[in-house]
Amino acid sequence: MSKDENLKEYYSRLIAVERHSPLTAETYCAEIRRFLTWLEDTDLTLERTDSPSLVRYLDLRRTRDGIDARSAAKAVSILRSFFRYVNDKSIRSDNPAVVLELPRRSLHLPEVHSRETVDKLLGMMETGTPRGLRDRALFELIYSAGLRISEASVLNIRDLDFSRELLRVRGKGSKERFVPLGEEAARWLRRYLKEGRPVLAGARPGNALFIGRTGKRLSRKGIWKNYAVLADQAGIGSKIHTLRHSYATELLAGGADLRSVQELLGHADLSTTQIYTHVDVSLLRESHRRYMPKLRGYAGES
């Protein structure tokens, strides 16, 4: 079977058997395409690949491509998944990736913004045009509901329930969850649906909530680009995912329990949510240093 045929079958398995989202499946296949190309370059086959061979491949990814520990750990998981597919195809009966150790991931705290910074950022937006109204509603919603870009881009109008102040979100693995609509986001969404979207849609009403000037659904890339321009204008240079991080951190700082935040964010594993508890502590320390730089202990001081 050719490389392309293997990748096509593997992609189908990721969707149907391992229940991954199309975006995740594409990421997995991109890694395996690199791996299969490396096998060709080194005159290896899937049947002859052993654990030391996989170690050499991962070392190459680190030295040549500069991947960090997190990406290397992801590559190991992908290789394990791929060799499960190889087992199912009866190409071989063992999984040489199982014995690979996952590289230790260093703790990288996500960047977050204060409420004041978010207000400043969103307040800079020009809302006198249909596209401006759309982006204000979009970014308000991403912040107030803690959405991923991929989740925001696939929203449909019917996912909004203004009467119950809820939003239906389709997350990773096609899992659905309901999150509350923030008051400010709901206000801008109503205005966008009344004044902005009809102009953008023209004679093509459609179902997509956020659309571009051609009336088609706004893509993930389009959302990312529009936010990048806004952040640059505000002089903060952050990524759009920072809005989601800020949402989670603000919830915890306000007293929300970790399990509730996990449900609101759509995290499958609680450990993923726990990163925000470290962010909250780091913010407290920064505030302590900023506002009380001369604070000292009482013992022995006059």
What positions carry a catalytic annotation? 148, 172, 241, 244, 267, 276
Beta-carbon contacts of 82 under 8 Å, excluding residues fewer than 6 positions away, are 10, 28, 32, 35, 97
Question: How would DSSP label each residue in 231-280?
Answer: HHHHT----THHHHHHHHHHHHHTT--HHHHHHHHT-SSHHHHTHHHHHH
Of 104, 184, 175, 173, the closest CA to residue 145 belongs to 184
Q: Per 3-state DSSP, what percentage of the chain is helix, strand, and coil (rounded to 5)?
A: 60, 5, 35
Tokens of 118: 């978010």
Cα–Cα–Cα angle for 238, 244, 250, rounded to 5 degrees: 105
Sign of dihedral through CA atoms 215, 219, 225, 227? positive
Tokens 């969103």 belong to 122
Can you read off the two tokens belonging to residue 54? 């996989």
